[in-house]
Amino acid sequence: MSKFNKKKSGDLPAISTASLPDIVFMLLFFFMVATVMRENTLKIQNNLPVANQIEKLDKKNPISYIYAGKPSKGYENFGTEARIQLNDNFAEVSDIIAFINSERAALREELIPLLLWL
């Protein structure tokens, strides 16, 4: 009689999934750091000048965006002449003062002197 029996089944052992959570969290962390959340959708054609100096903003709360230019692709139904975009909405020239006042009123008192218009 033989003392050792041969294993006759050719099944592969199960794959270890012990490191799978580490990989998932590493990918999650990478995409959280590398992704930039855009606050405003640019609806006009915007040709920015070349910058040679930059300044880091400490707080991004007191920033409002005012764009002016022709509507970009996908927004041709608003016309072909130059338009004004306040944050995410098209507006008229007469709406700018009301927009500035509403943005200023929405800020805390200590952030009002830091309010930037880009």
Taking the domains of the chain in order of start, what are their residue ranges? Answer: 61-118
Backbone angles phi, psi at 34, to 5 degrees: -85, -15
Backbone angles phi, psi at 73, to 5 degrees: -60, 135
pLDDT, tens only, 79-91 = 888 888 888 888 8
pLDDT, tens only, 30-85 = 999 888 776 777 788 877 778 888 777 666 666 778 888 888 888 877 888 888 88
Q: Report how far residue 76's alpha carbon sits from residue 9's, in angstroms, rounded to the nearest whole number.
A: 68
Contacts 24+ apart (CB under 8 A), 71-74: 71/43, 71/44, 71/45, 72/42, 72/43, 72/44, 72/45
